[in-house]
């Protein structure tokens, strides 16, 4: 109902909603009727993610039901998240092609039922070029490329060497607050509350920091080790390090605002992170 109210308040914008069950369609139909709005329906197809999505063989039935309930059917969503992180270019492309074939078959079945399937959407920063070049997908959904993160930077390009088309632009600034007496490690003020660890630890992007690595030190602490045994001289209490988050989405989610800086770290602009938090 909130979504329908939003659509009613902004009638100049196209709203669409993914569905994978008749329950969704019923709820959406009631909400659209109550607010006298049209929300385009996109049928989400189960293409291997095992998360949301109607089984491909049940797609036509669901699409028919969408139209029976008087809703506008716009197309299908075929997203496979795990494919984004397959390191090898060839293996990643092969995995996407399996999704493309399912999408093609579902679209054909819908069209064979006399229903137009305008939209085939999916893909992300790791795979968008495969979906975009497939001749089947009409829309791709990359987003992480803007910031990149440690994890996406491990993917390979067409030469099976590290993909360097996008560079990291998201950093967490952290300050050294303690140094071990024998200079084996330093403690920084960025822990689990400051940088997401679910796709591995951040790397350190600082001129004197090539041989530094980060390990979790708990909610408020990170531990910086020198990979050659001793910390470089530049690391001392008060030193500021730039961390490259292992995973950008849940890291951004922790902050109220972005600081946009120039090459000298002068703050040019501040953007509020309106959608931060649990996201419901």
β partners of residue 92 = none
DSSP state letters, 185-240: EEEES--TTTS--BTBPPEE--TT-TTEEEEE-SSS-EEEEETTSS--TT--TT-E
Q: How many CB atoms lie within 10 A of CB 48?
A: 17
Say which residue the tokens 């029976």 belong to.
Answer: 68
* Closest CB 229 distance from a copy of itself, rounded Å: 15
| 122 lies in the binding site for a copy of itself (CB under 8 A) | no
80/83 Cα distance (integer angstroms): 6
Compare residues 34 and 162 and give the one whose CB is closer to a copy of itself.
34
Compare residues 54 and 100 and give the one whose CB is closer to a copy of itself.
54
Q: x/- contact string, 31-50, with a copy of itself (CB under 8 A)?
A: ---------------x---x
* Closest CB 191 distance from a copy of itself, rounded Å: 8
Residues 196 to 225: which contact a copy of itself by CB under 8 A? 196-198, 216-221, 223
- What is the DSSP-derived secondary structure letter of residue 88? S
Which tokens belong to 220? Answer: 């408020």
Instruction: Yes or no: say if 140 and 122 are a contact pair by the CB < 8 Å rule.
Output: yes
| 249 lies in the binding site for a copy of itself (CB under 8 A) | yes
| 20 lies in the binding site for a copy of itself (CB under 8 A) | yes
| 60 lies in the binding site for a copy of itself (CB under 8 A) | no
- Name the residues that contact a copy of itself, by CB under 8 A: 20-21, 23-24, 46, 50-55, 58, 81, 172, 175, 177-181, 185, 187, 189-190, 192-194, 196-198, 216-221, 223, 236-238, 249-250, 253-256, 277-280
């Amino acid at each position: 109902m909130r979504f329908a109210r939003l659509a009613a308040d902004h009638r100049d914008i196209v709203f669409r909603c993914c569905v994978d069950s008749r329950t969704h369609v019923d709820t959406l139909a009631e909400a659209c009727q109550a607010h006298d709005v049209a929300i385009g329906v996109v049928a989400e197809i189960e293409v291997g993610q095992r998360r949301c999505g109607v089984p491909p063989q049940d797609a036509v039935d669901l699409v028919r039901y969408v139209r029976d309930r008087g809703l506008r059917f716009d197309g299908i969503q075929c997203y496979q998240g795990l494919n984004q992180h397959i390191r090898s270019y060839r293996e990643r492309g092969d995995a996407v092609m399996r999704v493309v074939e399912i999408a093609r078959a579902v679209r054909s079945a819908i069209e064979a039922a006399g229903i137009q399937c305008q939209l085939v959407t999916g893909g992300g920063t790791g795979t968008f070029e495969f979906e975009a070049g497939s001749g089947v997908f009409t829309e791709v959904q990359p987003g992480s490329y803007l910031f990149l993160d440690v994890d996406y930077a491990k993917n390979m390009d067409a030469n099976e060497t590290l993909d360097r088309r996008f560079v990291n632009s998201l950093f967490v600034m952290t300050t050294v607050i303690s140094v071990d007496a024998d200079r084996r490690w330093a403690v920084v003020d960025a822990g689990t509350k400051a940088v997401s660890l679910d796709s591995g630890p951040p790397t350190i992007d600082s001129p004197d920091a090539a041989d530094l690595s980060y390990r979790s030190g708990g909610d408020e602490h990170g531990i910086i080790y020198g990979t050659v045994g001793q910390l470089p001289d530049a690391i001392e209490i008060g030193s500021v390090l730039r961390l490259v988050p292992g995973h950008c989405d849940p890291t951004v989610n922790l902050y109220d605002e972005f600081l946009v800086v120039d090459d000298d770290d002068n703050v040019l602009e501040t953007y509020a992170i309106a959608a931060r938090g649990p996201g419901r």
